[in-house]
Structures are given as C-alpha cells and as structure tokens.
Chains A and B, each alone.
Chain A
C-alpha cells in the first residue's frame, strides 16, 4: 500500500478513536458507491464509521412511471435512444431491453449526440432521446437540443428526466428517519454546479459536507476531513477535489442548462416528488419536448411487490436487509433498478460483498 494511503487510513483510525461517536456518511453519487466497494475502502474504515449510499445513481432514481412513458412511446412506433444502463430496468410492462427483443426500435447511446445521428438517418420516423442523469449529463442533452434546432431537425425530441442533485440531498438531510452525520459529495457534479448549492448542508443542517473525486485516495481524504470536522464540532463545506472544482462552477455549462431547461418538480424513485429537483425543456424549446409532442401523461409508478430500492436509495436500509436481495433479486433477474444499474447499490453489494453467514 502506498505510504500516503497508509497515513490516511491511520489518521482516520486515530480520529475515530478520539471522537468515539458513530458516524454515518452518505455518499451521494453512484460512482462513489462503486469506487468504495471496488477499492475495498469500506473494509478499511474504522468500525465506528459507516458509508451508506444515496440517491446518486441516475438509472435508479428514474421513476417507474417515467420508464412506462418511454415504453409507451415505443408502442407508438417511436425510435427511442437511451443510455445502455437504462435498458434492463424493469417496470410493470417490461423494459427497454425486453421491448427491443420484441422488435421495437430501441438504440443504445454512449453520448446524447448519438440521437441526432439516429434522427438524421431516419428522417421519416420520430426519434426520442431519453434524458436521464444529473447536472453532469444534462448539459449534453442541452447541447443535443440546441444542435437539433440549429440543424432544423424536426423528427427529434427529448424526454427529459434529468434531475438536480442539491434538492434531493436537502430532502435527505432533513428527513427525520434517516440519521446522516455527513455527506460525501461528487466532485464532477460540483465542477458544473460549483460549491454554493451545497453550502446549506453545513449552514442550515450543521452537517459536514466534503466534495471529492472518485478514486479511493480522494474518498479516504474526504473521510479524514469529515472525521476531523466532527471531532472539532465545526461542520463546513470543503473540497478535497483540488483545482478542478471552481467555487462558481462551470459557467458555460450552467448557461447552457439555463438556456435549454427550466427547473421543475420531479419524481424520484423511493423519495417521491421533490420541488425544483428536475429539468424540463423551456417553452422556447417546446418543439423538442417529447412530453408535449406526444401529449404524454406521466403517472407516478408503484414499485414491484417487495422491492425496497426506495429505502436503499435513501439510506434507510442496506441491500442485504431487503428480503428479495440475493434471493428473488439478482443481477441476472433483477427486480429493482438498484440491482440492474452498474452504479446501483444493490448490484455493488452483490458483486463485491459477501454478508457474514449467521
């Protein structure tokens, strides 16, 4: 183990011993979840420190009803373009993958711009891009919409389920039944949004909040910083991400988001409706809004029987506490999105962790 890492692990152990209180840190982002598992970081944390996963897997927080809306478009003969991670998320009437198997036209995108190409290649057909993800992927969708307008592409529209991170974090920080001592915040979201949108965690809720990158070294540094703040009783917003995060964020990306999207309420799987937590297309870009073009009514979905993805996403339970985990719900036959997504918490537990046999 490199020396600086050993030093960080040691520092964490010392701080944990000194403060002697149990600390529960929520990692907001799915990539942090996977990195913490893949690197074995969870196993080197002091016993008094616990990492729980939050609502930061874009596929996992997409509401059942939103997926149903996409499937309904397929049944109307529309070509749907979506990120690969969305394909296997099951909903009441199937998944994008099962619909593709039945002959509907679903295409995999690795970037939003792929949808533009599909639309250009299929001028006689309606093409809809399924926009999921947070502040990091929404600018790519905004660019897609702008390009579509510039090129005068009339057969492309966007179903925007993009979500904003700070309101969801706020909802969890204020939830009475989830005891969170501190937040680990994703560096790449903060590169776009800047520091300001997360400052309320320390100011209003008195919670340490540390912005970090995805490698285990960064996560360890963030955990040390959190432990230090807790021992000092001085919560604040700090970044260990270095120079990539400018306090004011990425003005260009924010400008793009502001031009194309307006903030609206959004439904998060497992959390419900959160005010101002979503991005819908602005009126000026209404022609590219698939909800409008196809008069879609999005009905809030109900999760499959027994599935507790919602409780997992909000840190209320860990996956092994769900009765379906590893029995009815596995990566091969997933019941909920947290088992499907490469960033999902249940999938990470399944792949990297073995529960103690009792």
Chain B
C-alpha cells in the first residue's frame, strides 16, 4: 500500500497504475468500478471521460491550458470511437488569480469546442485561498456517442496487427520541458490538437482494434499497457517512428527518451494488417496526421506482455513501462 502520494504517482507509468488500482479498490470490491480505458463505454451507446489539467507554464508554444483541457477530454472520447458532444468544466481558482488570464483560457477552450461542435453543458467554479492550488486547476468531463460497431479496447490486439501512430511523437512533453528548463528550441511546438476529425473516418474500418492518445507517459507507456492488456508481444521499429529533429535534440540534451514524452495530439492505433493501407490513407487526409506511419507489429512470439524495439543501429532493446518522474541527467 502506498503511504504517501509522490509526484511519480502522477507521471503515467507503473506507479500511476498502482495508485489508481488502490484508489479504485473500494469500488471494484463492490463490483461498481470502471474499466481502465481512456473513456468509459456506458449503456445506451454513450461514452464518458474525466480529466484534470494543471500545467506549468499555462501558455506554451502551440496552446494553453484551456485548449489543452478540451483536447485532452475529447481525445479520450475519440480514442474509444465516441464523438465529443458535451463537455463539463470544473475550475478551482487560486485567490488573486488574474481574471483576464482566466478569460483567455475560456476563450481558447470555447474556440476549440466550437470547431468540434461540442456544447458546454455544465460547469463549476471554486475559489480557494492563496496556496490552495497553483493558479488554476481545470477538470473536464466529456460525454458523447459511441460510433463504432465493436468496442475498441486494449485487450483486442492479435498477432499480426499493425501499430500505427498518427503523427510525430513527444512534441507536447518536449515543449513543456523546454519551457521548464529555459531551453529555446526553434520550431518546437506542442502537438496539442483535437483528434476527433482525424479519427472519425477510421471508425468504419473492419479490424480497427484499439486507439489511445499518447498523453502522460507517451507512446512507450501506451504500448506497454496494450501488450499487457492483450497478453501479446509488440515489436517496434525505431527507424519508422516519426520524430521531429526538435524533439530529438531536446531529448538528447536532457537525457530523455522520446518514447515516454507526452503527446496531446497523437493517436496510437492498432489495426488488422489487411486494413493498414486504408487506415494510413484516411489518417493522412487529415492535416494533423501527414506523418502517420506504421511503427510496429503485434507478434505471436516472446516475451508476451512486453514491448521490444529494433533500434536505429540494428540492435534490440526492451521498451519498459516507465517508473518515477522523468528527470534531466545531471552529469
């Protein structure tokens, strides 16, 4: 049992899994717990998700916390094949926070919703004394209609399936890291974007197994969860994983692995290999997904439940679920 919550419990890797399981235990014990997917599929063909946002800095190249919150919520729905119909927003605001700044975030959240046809259906504001929260904390709840004939799930992967990513990885995490470490990387911008328009055409494909937006913990964590969830081995090919030179150089400088850098506009997709070409053509029709690529395959081999990668220099390595916070190297 965890004694105290640490930052690593929030980093999306193994410790996050652990604390979530502990917190859900009272529900799962009573048979009323959720499934551990991006969004929940509800009776009647609905889907629902909740996601909280706190980011430093709140405005970053490529977006701000308002836009980020909407994207994060609707992308969770999109990953399960559901349209972003309704949104609820809960704001916890620190006393003294600039109202002008808040209005800016609401403006960008509203713009993103309007583009998607998403309606703000409910909301709540709370103000807490100085120190009660760091500036503002925004929690979103998104609700929509499932548009796939079969549930997409991380338990669906079968040997032979292809793994596809919709765009180059790690841009959001790298952008935030660059701001935090005062590194000026020319041309580096968060990928923060709503993915529903890009993935909607995929839903008609036979053999679409699973989708996940690669947020906290990045692509590497998502694929580890898939390999575990389906009990299969996933083999990646490093050379085919789209990676911008900016993300690559930032990761080099700080000693980060781009596989674990957060994305906010990148979908990982598992699909029956016979449908891969159609899927890629559909994805690439979206301006957000021009770099969509097949990056690996599900195999019937060993080690089951794990991810391995053929590296750029032709070697092999494991891709393990991360533990702890991402830390810059100090030597």
Check if A29 sits within 8 Å of B331, measured CB to CB: yes
Check if A40 sits within 8 Å of B316, measured CB to CB: yes
Q: Which residues of A contact B317 (CB under 8 A)?
A: 37-40, 43, 352-353
Check if B15 sits within 8 Å of A332, measured CB to CB: yes
Q: Which residues of A contact B244 (CB under 8 A)?
A: none
Q: How far is the CB of B176 from chain A (nearest CB, A)?
A: 13
Cβ of B312 under 8 Å from chain A:
yes
- Size class of the A contact interface (CB-based, 8 Å): 35 or more
Cβ of A215 under 8 Å from chain B:
yes
Q: Which residues of A contact B313 (CB under 8 A)?
A: 1, 5, 9, 39-41, 44, 216-217, 220
Determine which residue in B180, B316, B318, B324 has the highest number of CB atoms from chain A within 10 A of its CB, and name it.
B324
Q: How far is the CB of A138 from chain B (nearest CB, A)?
A: 11
Cβ of A110 under 8 Å from chain B:
yes
Check if B331 sits within 8 Å of A43, measured CB to CB: no
Q: Which of B191-239 contact A (CB under 8 A)?
A: 239
Cβ of B309 under 8 Å from chain A:
yes
Asked whether A30 and B315 contact (CB < 8 A) given A97-B6, A110-B180, A331-B324, the answer is no
Check if A41 sits within 8 Å of B323, measured CB to CB: no
A29: nearest chain-B partner, CB-CB: B331
Asked whether A41 and B255 contact (CB < 8 A) given A85-B330, A350-B320, A351-B320, the answer is no
Q: How far is the CA of A332 from the CA of B15 in the complex (A)?
A: 8
Q: Which residues of A contact B3 (CB under 8 A)?
A: 101
Check if B303 sits within 8 Å of A6, measured CB to CB: no
Check if A40 sits within 8 Å of B331, measured CB to CB: no
Name A88's contact: one of B318, B324, B331 (CB within 8 Å): B324
Q: Which residues of B contact A5 (CB under 8 A)?
A: 312-314
Name A39's contact: one of B181, B312, B323 (CB within 8 Å): B312
Q: Which residues of A contact B323 (CB under 8 A)?
A: 331-332
- Stretch among A129-137, A232-240, A273-281 lining the B interface: A129-137
Cβ of B252 under 8 Å from chain A:
yes
Check if B181 sits within 8 Å of A110, measured CB to CB: yes
Q: Which residues of A contact B327 (CB under 8 A)?
A: 83-85, 342
Q: Which of B304-330 contact A (CB under 8 A)?
A: 306, 309-318, 320, 323-325, 327-330
Check if B180 sits within 8 Å of A332, measured CB to CB: no
Check if B315 sits within 8 Å of A43, measured CB to CB: yes
Check if A41 sits within 8 Å of B315, measured CB to CB: yes
Cβ of B14 under 8 Å from chain A:
yes
Asked whether A31 and B255 contact (CB < 8 A) given A84-B327, A136-B331, A352-B320, the answer is yes
Chain B 28-42: CB-based contact to A (< 8 A → 1; otherwise 0): 000000000000000
Check if B331 sits within 8 Å of A9, measured CB to CB: no
Q: How far is the CA of A58 from the CA of B329 in the complex (A)?
A: 10
Q: How far is the CB of A158 from chain B (nearest CB, A)?
A: 15
Q: What count of chain B residues pass the 8 Å CB interface test? A: 33
Name A342's contact: one of B310, B314, B329 (CB within 8 Å): B329
Q: How far is the CB of B165 from chain A (nearest CB, A)?
A: 19
A220: nearest chain-B partner, CB-CB: B313
Asked whether A216 and B255 contact (CB < 8 A) given A40-B317, A101-B4, the answer is no
Q: Which of A57-113 contact B (CB under 8 A)?
A: 57-59, 83-85, 88, 97, 101, 110
Cβ of B51 under 8 Å from chain A:
no
B257: nearest chain-A partner, CB-CB: A38
Cβ of A307 under 8 Å from chain B:
no
Q: How far is the CA of A9 from the CA of B311 in the complex (A)?
A: 13
Q: How far is the CB of B309 from chain A (nearest CB, A)?
A: 7
Q: How far is the CA of A31 from the CA of B309 in the complex (A)?
A: 20
Q: How far is the CA of A285 from the CA of B130 in the complex (A)?
A: 39
Q: Which residues of B contact A41 (CB under 8 A)?
A: 311, 313, 315
Q: How far is the CB of A178 from chain B (nearest CB, A)?
A: 21
Q: How far is the CA of A88 from the CA of B6 in the complex (A)?
A: 11
Q: How far is the CA of A222 from the CA of B306 in the complex (A)?
A: 32
Q: How far is the CB of A269 from chain B (nearest CB, A)?
A: 15
Q: Which of A5-53 contact B (CB under 8 A)?
A: 5-6, 9, 29-31, 34, 37-44
Q: How far is the CA of A186 from the CA of B331 in the complex (A)?
A: 10
Cβ of A56 under 8 Å from chain B:
yes
Check if A2 sits within 8 Å of B331, measured CB to CB: no
Q: Which of B238-272 contact A (CB under 8 A)?
A: 239, 252, 255, 257
Sorted nearest first, the 7 A-B pairs with minimum C-beta distance are A40-B315, A40-B311, A43-B315, A331-B323, A101-B4, A84-B327, A40-B317
Q: List 24 A-B contacts (CB under 8 A).
A: A1-B314, A9-B313, A31-B255, A38-B311, A39-B311, A40-B310, A40-B311, A40-B315, A40-B316, A42-B315, A43-B315, A59-B330, A83-B327, A84-B327, A85-B329, A88-B324, A132-B330, A136-B331, A186-B331, A331-B323, A343-B255, A343-B331, A350-B320, A354-B318
Given A134-B331, A343-B331, A354-B318, list of 6 further CB < 8 A pairs? A41-B313, A44-B314, A57-B331, A186-B331, A217-B313, A350-B320
